[in-house]
Structures are given as structure tokens and as C-alpha cells.
Structure 1
Amino acid sequence: MTVLQNASDVLRLFGSGCSDLTVTEVTTRLGIPKANASRLLKAMRDAGMLETIGDTRRHRPGRMMLDLASAFRKSLGVIGQAGEVVAAVTERFGHTGYVSLREGREVTAVADFPGTNDLRVVSNIGRRLTAHGSATGRTLLARMSDAEVEAVYAGRPELDGLLPRLDAIRACGFAYSSQESTPGVDAIAIAVGDPATEEAVSLCIVYPHAVVGEDGRDEMLAALASGATRIARDLGDAKFVAPRIPEKGLFA
């Protein structure tokens, strides 16, 4: 058990700006004899938990650990993975985030992450929004073909003008809404899905229109896009379009 605990302690040193370690650094940070640290890192290399960087004496997580991390993310399911991404973006920027599912012509938040800023959007888990009239809903509809969308909205006026908006989302990889569902509130949303379960979710950040400018909005979009792209890669989501930040003044 002691060896496993020591190995766990070494792995916990990675992250928060630490991408590689030497024996000396492990000795200092864990407070163990240098000989013990050297033997521990060798055992971890032999087990595939660590690997050396080229011909240096620096160690980084081995490929086995990367495989385990990927397996862990997949085991969470697309909702769990999306929740991790949205939670991280919420923590970084202080604005409320949601993970939403579509059911017919409506979308509902299934996970929410309340913001921490003094001026923030109040969380409202379970609130139903129209799919065509919300950023989250449109990102999920954009994953469907036009024929599938037409079937959902057959004979309904909401279909008017919807297909061109979905084409624009398919081209840029995200949706943006300004004071659409709620006065004074803007939203950025990106959808990602799991081909194995055919389940798709929308990752969304909502924020007060008055306090976030173009630069802040683009920064949040980039952070949300980075996480969503990682999920799509892990799950093999062929429908996913990597979001791109538009030129100034072309955010629509």
C-alpha cells in the first residue's frame, strides 16, 4: 500500500503548471530520501506510469496514464464530460453555465453551474426553452439534417428562417444569442455528441449583456470550444465542427 500511495503522490504533483519532474524535485516536494524517489520513479517507468523526456532526467506521465484519462472521460458519458468543461469555464469566468438536452422542439438544462460574479445570471435548472429560439437548441438542431429538422417542425411557423440559421451554425461551430430568451442576458453554446449512444448535449455559458464586451465574449467562446473539441475527439464525434472565433463585428 505504501508504494501505491507514494506513486499516487507523485502523480498528484502533475498539473497546475507542472508537466514534468526530476528525482530531485520529487525528493523536495514529497520530503522523501533521494534514493527512495529514484527507485519509485524507476518502478513507475517500468510500469508505464511515467516516461522520460528524450535523453533528459525529467519524467512526465506515461502513455498508460493518458489512456486511463481518456477511458475515464469516456466512462463519464457525454453529459458528464460536458459538465466538466462547463464547470471549468464557469469557474474561470464566473458566469453561469448549463448542459442541455433537446426533446422534440424544446431544450432543458440537465446540469447547471451557478456563476460567482457579483452580477451574474441566476441559475434556473429545468427551465424549458424553445429549441429554435435559443442558442442551445439551435446548436442541437444544427446537428440534424434539414430533412430531420423539417420533420420536427412540419407545418409550424417556427420553421420559417430557421434552416439558414442552422447552416450558419454548421459553418462556424457555435451559436450566439443576445437577449433572446431573457432580457439583458446573452449566451454562447456549442453542441457535441456521442456516436455510441446517439446522445447530444449543448454546452452553454450565459452572462449579463451589459458587462461582457467582444473580447471577453470571444475568450469565453475559445475556452468552451477547447473543451468541446476535446470531448468530440475522445468520443469520435464526426458531426462536430470545431468552433472558430469570427472577425470583429461579424458575431451573429
Structure 2
Amino acid sequence: MQSVDRALTILELLAADGQLGVTEIAGLLGVHKSTASRLLATLESHGLAEQLPDRGRYRLGVGVLRLAGATRSRLDVVQESRPVTKALATEIGETVNIVILSGRETLYLDQVAGTSALRIHNWVGKRNPLHATANGRVLLAHISDTERDALLAASVGSAGSLPRLTEHTVTSRAGLLAELEQVRARGYAVARDELEIGLTAVAAPIRGTDGSVIASLSASGPTFRVADRLDGVVAAVMSAAVAVSHRMGWAGPSRLSS
């Protein structure tokens, strides 16, 4: 923990001063020069610090921009999606969520409650399994095969299947992969009674400037209500996902597809 604290302090010092030498950093940290040098080497290996070739001094590396960009992207997608998700929640009366991939799970960034919701369940900040949710399937469907295989391998239990949350949860790897193919082909995912009995969700991908999927937009509600008008909910969710994608800088067509 002490090393982590010192490394973070170095980043703060570089941010404040712009450029510092090893001796200066060691003095400010109150450590030996060799300790400061090792910490800087570690930061440099991750692109968080870089050494100036002519003066031997250090400054912040471009890796800091990468991390900042990831945080900015999360903040931007919430801000840019809000007008769209509010309109969608009003249109269909169901709860609308913005979700991203975080580790082995989905992470809910934002939520707008629908007018038909009798009981509001706040999903913001919550995590859910990838395989049993519409959002999770959208996100799984648009990552590399290597990353997908690693995530599924980490989720498979001792019995060789994915966790069963309800009697309707798809638990076989082959079954889930077949479903992901469908998600890519049709441009949306549906999870009916798989996370919770009585809950159905429809999700579609949100794309960034380069066309990659950066988040998922979903609408969820009671199965009896959503299932009866599934086609309309799907069309509305896909249209909203396209609108948010355009607000995020995507220049693709008016309908999201693989």
C-alpha cells in the first residue's frame, strides 16, 4: 500500500509541476533516489509517466490521457443519453437504463423510471451477470472472441455451466454463444424471466465515434406488460440506441446492426 500511495503521489507531483527529476521527486517523497527511480520506472512501463530524452526529467505520460478518456466516456454517455432515455421512458412507460461492461459483469450508469412503473428499483451503481441480462448479451456480443472466451470461462461453475438464476436462464455456453450470434444479426437482445421471474428487458448497443460498442441501452418492465408489445419496445429501444450513438459521435446509418 505504501508503494501505491507513493506512486499516486508522484503522479500528483508531476501534474502540479509539469516536469521533475528523480532527485527532486525523491526529496519531495522523503525516500531514497533508488526508490523514486523504481517507482518512476513502473509508472513509465504503464505509460503513466515518461522521461524527457534531453534532460532526464519526467512528466505525465499519455497513459493518463487514456484513463481520463475512459472516465470522460462514461460521463459523456450519461450526459448525452439523458434526453433520449427520458423521451423513451415516457414513450413506452418502462424503466430505461444505460449500462457498460465492467470486469465480468454489467455496471448500471444511469436510469430513468418509466411512467408505468409501480415500484421503482434503482439499478444505478448495481452489477448484474452478463449471461442472464439483455444488456450483458449486447456487450458480450460486441467484444473480441478472446475477451468473450475469458469472461465466460471465469463465469462457468464447477458443474461446467453458467450460473442459473431462474428456470429460464440460459446456462450452457453453446446456447449463449448461439444467442449472441442472434444479437449481432438482429441488433438487439431480449432476456425474458432470466434474471428475475416476471422481468423482461430489451437492449441495444450504443456506439462511439469509431463504431465500437461503448455501452448498452435497455428498457425493462414486467414480463406480462413488455411481452405483449415486444415488437414496439424493440423498435423504440433500437431507435433510442441509434440516437444516443449519434450524440456520441457515431456517423453510421439510422439503424444499428452488426
Q: TM bucket by the smaller chain?
A: 0.5 to 0.7
- Kindly provide the amino acid, as one letter, of the partner of residue 82 in structure 2: G
Change (3 A) 1:133 1:231: same
Structure 1 residues 101, 130: closer, same or farther in 2, change over 3 A?
same
**Cross-structure match for 1:193:** 207
When structure 1 is superposed on structure 2, of 218-227 and 116-125 the one drifting more is 116-125
1:200 positional shift: 1.0
What is aligned with 1:111? 110
1:229 counterpart = 2:242:
yes
User: SS in structure 1 opposite 2:153?
Assistant: coil
Rounded to whole Å, the distance in 2 between the matches of 1:80 and 1:197 is 19
Root-mean-square deviation (Å): 3.1
Match of 1:168 in 2: 182
Match for residue 139 of structure 1?
Answer: 138
Residue 242 of structure 1: how far off its partner (Å): 2.1
Aligned to 1:232, the other structure's residue is in SS state helix
Look up the match of 1:67: none
Change (3 A) 1:241 1:138: farther
- Shift in Å at residue 142 of structure 1? 0.8
Give, in angstroms, the shift of residue 201 of structure 1.
1.1
The structure with the largest helix share of the pair is: 2
Superposed CA offset, 1:27-83 (max 9, x none):
xxxxxxxxxxxxxxxxxxxxxxxxxxxxxxxxxxxxxxxxxxxxxxx9x83333333
For residues 220 and 117 of structure 2, the distance between their equivalents in structure 1, rounded to whole angstroms, comes to 14
CA gap 1:224/1:113 in 2 versus in 1, 3 angstroms = same
Gaps of 5+ in 1: 1-73, 245-252
1:173-206 C-alpha deviation (Å, 9 max, x unpaired): 0000111112211100011121469671110101
Cα distance change of structure 1 residues 165 and 181 upon mapping to structure 2, 3 Å threshold: same
Corresponding residue number in structure 2 for 1:81: 80
Give the alignment partner of residue 223 of structure 2, picking from 192, 198, 209: 209
8 Å contact kept, 1:141–1:166: yes
For structure 2, the 5+ residue unaligned runs are: 1-72, 157-161, 163-171
Residues 98 and 108, structure 2, Cα contact 8 Å, conserved in 1? yes
Return the TM-score normalized by structure 2.
Answer: 0.57
The number of equivalent residue pairs is: 169
TM-score (norm 1): 0.58
Assess if the C-alpha contact under 8 Å between 1:102 and 1:108 holds in 2: yes
